[in-house]
Amino acid sequence: MNFEYTEEQLMAQQSARDFAQRELILDVIERDTKAEFPTQHVKKLAELGFLGMLVDPKYDGTGMDTISYVLAMEEISKVDSSVAVIMSVNNSLVCYGLEKYGTEEQKEKYLKPLALGEKIGAFLLSEPEAGSDATMQRTMAVDKGDYYLVNGTKNWITNGNSASTYIVIVQTDPEKGHKGINALIIDRHAEGISLGPHEDKMGMRSSDTHSVMFTDVKVPKEDRIGEDGFGFKFAMKTLEGGRLGIAAQALGLASGAYELALKYSQERKAFGKEIIHHQAIAFKLADMATEIEAARFLCLKAAWLKDNDKPYGTASAMAKLYCAEMAMKVTTEAVQIFGGYGYVKEYHVERLMRDAKLTQIYEGTSEIQKIVISRAIMDK
């Protein structure tokens, strides 16, 4: 077993760290307060090749491996999880699905601009009444011969406004249940699409989250991904990679909060010594460091499996479950170590704690990950 990163992986990590620590940090508090989309930073993500990290260079991606992706996600999430989720959705939920299951024409037309970061993508699965219970899709796509007519509403869509390309999960034949579900590529500016207001979220405030309404939207048949009825499996397969991206994000939130708390505890004095020399604080930091390391190995294992074309869905669910729960705990402890300072925006840890909460919810709640993992255990 080799625990060393390659040159390429270290370069991806360093480049993400430089970007986060030199650029994202400068206006992250302001963007969080104003819930402002990070337009300039997304352009920089594109320049750095981070929006199509996993895509083959023949489709204009950077062609890096999943371990590099985990390392870069961690560094960016240490500072700004809103930027990280834009990157995660584009890479894992949109580019991955198109590259793996799209036709050559779809890759030429849709994947290339997404991999270059000229366009941003969004993945539209959740609905007002289909969150965890994802087979209950009510957005209908009626087969009209050479096109589908789409009607319905999608909820909680990350990049809902900023995306140009949507991948939309729709029901085409309710009698067939999940076997009647399809995945369609839809232009965000197609006639008949309207958006709900920007959601005023507790955390990840500068990523844009909207509901999206479809009213008689015409989608050509050639924009369906895969065979008729493949949509649910497509969504599940795509989420396997998505969950690993969110696991890496949670890892970054935790390690960012830990690094800040460690530094603070070495500077802040109480009862005549730096607080790190009080066992109550030192033991907290010991637990935080250990759990972060365990979480990192779960992410790297899932990434390694993916890079080696081995099944990785269960490993990815385990990584997401553990990292999200760990991130909530570690960021909360970081706020505790900072005391009153931790509760104000200036010291960053309260934002990391608010952001961490979402990693327990989106791309499958912690409870959903336990369903995925327990079913895999039973199948064995």
Interaction of residue 213 with ligand CAA, rule CB under 6 A: no
Judged by CB under 6 A, the residue of 20, 239, 323, 337 near ligand CAA is 239
**What's the CA gap between 64 and 56, in Å, rounded?**
8
- Told to check if 236 binds ligand CAA by CB under 6 A, we report yes
Does position 332 interact with ligand CAA (CB under 6 A)? The reply is no
If one asks whether residue 202 binds ligand CAA (CB under 6 A), the answer comes out as: no
- Shortest Å, Cβ 72 to ligand CAA: 18
**Residues near 324 by Cβ (< 8 Å), separated by ≥ 6?**
246, 247, 250, 356, 359, 360, 366
Give 161's contacts (C-beta < 8 A, 6+ positions apart): 37, 195, 198, 208, 210
Q: Looking at residue 327, what DSSP letter applies?
A: H
Nearer to ligand CAA, 26 or 371 (CB): 371
Q: DSSP class of residue 92?
A: I
Kindly tell me which residue out of 17, 178, 268, 370 binds ligand CAA, with binding defined by CB under 6 A. 178
Please, which residue, 280 or 378, has the CB nearer to ligand CAA? 378
Among 89, 184, 285, 321, which residue sits at the site for ligand CAA (rule: CB under 6 A)?
A: 89
Binding flag, residue 135, ligand CAA (CB under 6 A): yes
Q: Binding ligand CAA by CB under 6 A: which of 198, 233, 277, 329?
A: 233
Confirm whether 333 is a catalytic residue.
no
The whole-angstrom separation of Cα 116 and Cα 218 is 27
Residue 134 in the binding site for ligand CAA (CB under 6 A):
yes
To ligand CAA, the closest distance from the beta carbon of 150 in angstroms equals 18
Window of 57-65, 129-137, 165-173, 303-311 that interacts with ligand CAA by CB under 6 A: 129-137
| Pairwise CA distance, residues 124 & 136, whole Å | 14
Number of C-beta neighbours around residue 259 at 10 A: 14
Rg, Å, the chain Cα set: 21
Q: Considering all CA atoms of the chain, what is the largest pairwise distance in Å, rounded to the nearest integer?
A: 79
Residue 247, CA atoms < 13 Å, CB-side half-sphere: 36
Residues binding ligand CAA (CB under 6 A): 89, 123, 125-126, 132, 134-135, 158, 178, 232-233, 236-237, 239-240, 313, 362-364, 368, 371-372
Active centre residues (catalytic):
363
